Chain A
């Protein structure tokens, strides 16, 4: 339809759309209208007026999640309904869209690095377009193991939960279980994004607040 690379920009956060709606919109724009790029911008109010949406901190993390999902649509062969659906209308704050998808589809894992095809490799968290291509090139001559994957540029701290090399699971990972993997991936993500931690630091003395009588006892010295 369009001759040149057309682009568009969506402002995120000023109106109440969910991430699902936004992602479906961009998928439609990519597939039907052959757009080159859809850009997302967190809404930053320029003026303060009662008719404008209220000023709150710009949803930068949400913008980031949308870009991550956008890449999954364009280069990784994902479809919008795989990433989000009516039950999950918004992206998970604590996990990137690909990890989130992988954890919801844990039955498809672990994937064998030495036999999986290109698009299956791309679905593994920690493996991107470049490292997937490198794996395909490198394994033509030799079978790969975990150490070599790391050298090829695979992000092992994410990928190690989802792969086997020559039938072997990564030896330092204890369990292939959802709760265990989620916990580890979330703590990685916290470090990257400095996400707030919701629990309160517990102190020994919180539990042992002395009663009034105890304080009196301390002063008088009687037990």
Chain B
């Protein structure tokens, strides 16, 4: 549909969503698309690649953000942002093309599912938001000290903020920490405000109190008792509660 100009370069950016938006700003006029885009850490050296280091320009990214929301639609921005949270590699190029195309076509872009990069962006979004939705039900908080709750998670996508905000609404009077062990970041809420921050490697979880252990046993007993032996359906259970999350579930230990 557009005359994309695929250039033989690899963009190295800072890995933030605003970094991606400032590239949208620069690529918009000429429709230049790099062959690859990644962060410095993810980059695997290849002697043939021409590297271009991209500085995040807040002014440019702000203009792209406002432009999309004003001229296209908020849901387009939301789609791009949620897709960006995906843990898949090489997600950036699809989202970049999607956002540039959105400026040109307007809100219609979300209907053009037969274009491969639009469909790919939609898939990334669906994958990330579905995982967030699932985790909202699967997160199990443990009481680690007085009125302090802690829950480890291992999500494929970077959804800690979506999940965390859900629990801020749900449990506004509790102090809690969500810990994304795959990325080593945490979502900390202290009944007033929340923050997403890195976790020091030396983090130690204090041993559970007797009361907490009692509640864990109660929960496990409930889980076993409620099951109807004749109706066990492992395949269905694994559709709702995939095995990759089992290590964080008290009842599956």
Chain A residues engaging chain B, CB cutoff 8 angstroms: 44, 58, 134, 137-138, 140-142, 144, 148, 151-152
Per a CB cutoff under 8 Å, which of B111, B228, B230, B231 touches A137? Answer: B111
Q: For the A-B complex with A138-B113, A140-B111, A151-B113 known, give 10 more contacts whose Cβ atoms are closer than 8 Å.
A: A44-B228, A44-B230, A44-B231, A58-B230, A138-B111, A138-B114, A141-B111, A142-B112, A148-B113, A148-B114
Within 8 A of A (CB), among B73-126: 108, 110-114, 119
Residue on B nearest A143 in the bound complex, by CB: B114
Contacts known (A44-B230, A44-B231); A151 close to B112, Cβ less than 8 A: no
Docked Cα-Cα span, A137 to B110, in Å, equals: 8
Docked Cα-Cα span, A138 to B230, in Å, equals: 44
Q: Which residues of A contact B111 (CB under 8 A)?
A: 137-138, 140-141
Docked Cα-Cα span, A140 to B110, in Å, equals: 11
- Looking at chain A's contact residues, the main secondary structure is loop
Docked Cα-Cα span, A152 to B113, in Å, equals: 8
* 18 A-B pairs whose Cβ atoms sit less than 8 Å apart in the complex: A44-B228, A44-B230, A44-B231, A137-B113, A138-B112, A138-B113, A138-B114, A140-B108, A140-B111, A141-B111, A142-B112, A142-B114, A148-B113, A148-B114, A151-B114, A151-B119, A152-B113, A152-B119
- B interface, how many residues as a size bin? 10 to 19
- Looking at chain B's contact residues, the main secondary structure is helix
Is A141 touching B114 in the complex (CB atoms < 8 A)? yes
Is A141 touching B119 in the complex (CB atoms < 8 A)? no
Is B230 touching A144 in the complex (CB atoms < 8 A)? no
